[in-house]
Amino acid sequence: MYRAGAWGPWFSRSILPHGAVRPKNVEEIQEILKIANRDKIPIVPFSTGFEQTSWQGGLVLDTYSRMNKIHQIDTDSGYALVEPGVTCGRLLEELRPLGYWIPFGSFPPTFSMVTTLVCNSAYTNSMGREDDPLIGVEAVLPSGELLRTGTAGLGFDWWCVGRALRDLRLLFSPSNGTTGIITKAALRIIPLGETQAIVIGGFNNFNNAVNWTNMVTREMMVNTAMVWSYRWAHWQNWAHLGGKGYFDYVNQMLNLKPWESPKGFYNNYAFASISGYKEQVNGNVKTCERLVKQLDGDIVTNKFKEQLPGCWEKWQHNFVEHKNAGMTQKLSHVYGVDGSEASFIVETNIRDCKKFHHSFLRLLYKKYGIRAVRYYTRQHDHGRITFMRYVWMHDKYDKETLNRELAVQNQISQWMNTQEFKEEFPNIRKFPEANAPPKYNLAKLWNSIERLIDPNNIMHPA
């Protein structure tokens, strides 16, 4: 039941936990941590979603099974106060009748809202009206002491970051449970708005597609802006619709180079979701469409709906109507064929993003013979960071194939550590905090903070 997160074989050095505890309230968590800290027992917090800490024996602290209360939905102040066991779908179902929603990217509705927005990367996916979703946390420190951030830490019964206060939120996000156990999170909720819209541009030139998402993000005209390769859109289309078309798509990818698309389709589809007052949305839609044409793209919103109806429904459901809770994948059982574990993620500025993209696709194809690559990008921090994710197919249930894939991943990591790579891409690092230059003391300072909070190292034994 309690495995090494969603990453399975990647944590080959993990030691299975010796037991699990399922507290029902904050007081029980405090007592557990006091005992663990006294006896130096490793603790790994668990909630549904991506758990990014490998086991090193000790105890699993399950904050999902019994701590699942929605304590408050304050539409006047614009936040919801939830426990770790509250799922994304459940909170969204509570918010929609009130005229509100909450972003959680493309994560499944069964994932914990706290895991998704606070502990994982969905926190950084936000932009425009979705920006800065975490307002505050209540957390139990390794010593068993209770901490609240922002105005709640002053004893008030309402949650606000508090601009005149020291901002301690990011001690816990996205620390993945290494500084404390989050027991409550105050999360920003967003009005659905009078109307919603989506704009889709077709681009054969990757650079132009990324430039478009960057431009509309910086101006804060949109909720979400992403570039999906034809392959990612087509994969999502058939994963949702089901049927023989999925396997036709797989065969098609194996006969094209990673940067090619079949006739009648674009290499890249860039989309933006927009919501708000009618006049505001109409104006932003026109501006987004003008910028698509300015960057040699085509407005393909209606054509996309006809060609890839499953992906269109997914985008409408997730990014326009905000009804993620009802989505299902009709072909989830064939994901073993698709093998999404072969995933590679890079974050950098937009200049290095475009340069790296072309080099990386050609490396995968020419050195490793990998054709079936799909990718997407999205803008973070109002266009200052471009997030890129690449996925390629392998049979994750075949041991020989999996070992070969691990070798490829290792070789790519070695390539990124070469002097040649560092000179060509000076702003890209794998695991940037761990590889931070010593002269800037980032890693040293963070390690000092962790040791101060957790001197017995029970929260981060790996």
451 domain residue, yes or no: no
The answer to whether the CB of 13 falls within 8 A of the CB of 54 is yes
For residue 251, the tally of other CB atoms under 10 A from its CB is: 9
156 domain residue, yes or no: yes
Dist. CA 117–CA 123, nearest whole Å:
5
State the pLDDT confidence band at 189, using cuts at 50, 70 and 90: very high
Query: What confidence tens digit (pLDDT) does each residue in 51-102 have?
Result: 545 566 788 888 888 999 999 999 999 999 999 999 988 999 999 999 999 8
pLDDT of residue 4: 44
Query: What confidence tens digit (pLDDT) does each residue in 200-253 have?
Result: 999 999 999 999 999 999 888 898 899 999 999 998 888 777 777 777 887 888
The answer to whether the CB of 227 falls within 8 A of the CB of 268 is yes
> 379 lies in which domain range?
195-424
176, 202: one domain: no
State the pLDDT confidence band at 47, using cuts at 50, 70 and 90: confident
Instruction: Read off the tokens for 130.
Output: 């979705």
When divided into structural domains, the chain yields a total of: 2
267 domain residue, yes or no: yes
240, 174: one domain: no
Q: Which secondary structure element, helix H or strand E, spans residue 373, and what is its range?
A: strand 373-380
Query: What confidence tens digit (pLDDT) does each residue in 392-443 have?
Result: 876 555 677 777 777 887 888 888 888 888 888 888 866 555 566 777 777 7
pLDDT at 185 over 80: yes
Last residue in a domain, options 171, 191, 211: 191
Last residue in a domain, options 149, 175, 191: 191
Instruction: Read off the tokens for 107.
Output: 């994560």
pLDDT of residue 5: 45
211, 175: one domain: no
Average pLDDT, the chain: 83
125, 249: one domain: no
353, 212: one domain: yes
141, 223: one domain: no
pLDDT of residue 376: 93
pLDDT of residue 335: 38
Over range 143-172, report the average pLDDT. 90
Pairing of strands 19-21, 59-62: parallel
DSSP characters over 375-386: EEEEEEGGGTEE
Higher pLDDT, 124 or 298: 298
148 domain residue, yes or no: yes
97, 225: one domain: no
262, 363: one domain: yes
CATH of the domain at 287: 3.40.462.10
358 domain residue, yes or no: yes
Tell me the pTM.
0.86
361 domain residue, yes or no: yes
Query: What confidence tens digit (pLDDT) does each residue in 360-373 have?
Result: 999 989 988 888 88
State the pLDDT confidence band at 267, using cuts at 50, 70 and 90: very high
CATH of the domain at 144: 3.30.465.10
Q: How far is CA 84 from CA 141, 214, 391, in A?
A: 16, 33, 29
Last residue in a domain, options 136, 171, 191: 191
147, 292: one domain: no
204, 293: one domain: yes
408, 359: one domain: yes
284, 141: one domain: no
- The SS3 of residue 88 is helix
